Amino acid sequence: MIPVADRRANIFGYRFLLTAVILLSVASAAPGANGAPSTVRSTVDRVIDKAGRQIRIASPFHRIISLYGAHTENLFALGLDEEIVGVSRHEVFPDAALAKPVFSYHDDPERFLAATPDLVLIRPMIDRGYPQLVARLEKSGITVVSLQPGSITEMYRYWETLGRLTGRLAQAREMVRRFKQAAMDFRQTVQSVSPRKKVYFEAVHSKMKTFAPQSMPIFLLETVGGEYAASGAQSVRGTNIAAFGKERILAAGPTIDVYLAQYGVMNRPRLEDIYNEPGFQVIKAVRNSDVYLIDESIVSRPTFRLLNGMLEIGVRLYPGIFCAEGADILRSASQGRPDLLSPPPPCPRKQKEVHY
């Protein structure tokens, strides 16, 4: 028979061992610096791009060619001026990007190789259309990563992916935090507005297409208090563009308070195109001269400057509110980094009646 003192010692020892095992299990599952369990390292050391490539990050990439303007903007926002050794042909922001060597997916691969990049950032359109270039770069030992988010949630992950690739994860997460805070500030600014203005947002005028409800432009619109007039639009092939059609636009016309149209390199609508479109006089916004063009680079590109797009849309919808408060939200979001955003435009006066 085991003495009472020995039994107590055994029980104490068992309890101590059990407690130690539990504490070790909890520690192994505790969040690391990135909020994930510390034993799970794949989210830190590896990223998966749009083409399904798994890129292991042994060390930050430091010679980068960006073939998409959004990548370029975001790299500069992360403070990677020196690491960027080439940019695309259609750069618009920041000014420092215009001084970088220009590359195109039409170029001979040897031109890329001469620049000795260790990372070339592309988007899916380039992957699909120019597989020979991509294959040649990869065969030469250059890492190619294809990225392009389709929604705001995907954009946050995309920023963090760029941060992981370049050793700037903390800066990327700070961008996400400030963007979310600014979006919340915009929402709160119009919290009491009622009724909300109903808005049609044109994506491609020649084809009468709009944006999918989950797209970034519609996120911006709804953040600043707009009610989307084409909420039933169906996405085309899983993209941010949605089919709607002229008949449905005209059917909703009497209720559309504001008509917005994006413009850019591949889509150049003019105000007169919209005002003179046959049948568009049934649209309330057309009759009241509330039709506006918006630069696609601040509403469709997944960059910090989407906050510029929020402000511009906001002043078109509710100038009395956003002309007074919108610029302050942008100043707070930039936090001493004016290079992250375009200067807010002067608050526009309402257009006079337009005749074309």
How far is Cα 108 from Cα 259, in angstroms, rounded to an integer? 43
pTM: 0.85
* Cα-to-chain-centroid distance, residue 198: 24
Encoded tokens for 83? 């690491």
Residues in the chain: 356
Q: Which residues contact 9 (CB under 8 A, 6 or more apart)?
A: none
Count Cβ atoms below 10 Å from residue 303 Cβ, excluding itself.
27
Of 213, 229, 205, the closest CA to residue 296 belongs to 205
pLDDT at 4: 39
Say yes or no: do domains 42-170 and 193-340 share a fold.
Answer: yes
Count Cβ atoms below 10 Å from residue 234 Cβ, excluding itself.
10
- Residue-wise burial string across 309-331, b where 16 or more C-beta atoms lie within 10 A, e elsewhere: bbbbbbbbbbeebbbebbbebbe
Q: Which residues contact 289 (CB under 8 A, 6 or more apart)?
A: 350, 351, 352, 353, 354
H/E run at residue 145: strand 143-146
Count Cβ atoms below 10 Å from residue 27 Cβ, excluding itself.
10
For the segment 182-210, what is each residue's pLDDT rounded down to a tens digit? Answer: 999 999 999 999 999 999 999 998 889 99
Domains of the chain: which residue ranges? Answer: 42-170, 193-340
- Residue 200's DSSP bridge partners are 259
CB 275 within 8 A of CB 286: yes
pLDDT at 338: 83
Give every residue of the chain whose pLDDT is below 70, as ranges.
1-44, 348-356
Does 193-340 carry CATH code 3.30.980.10?
Answer: no
CATH class of the region 42-170: alpha beta
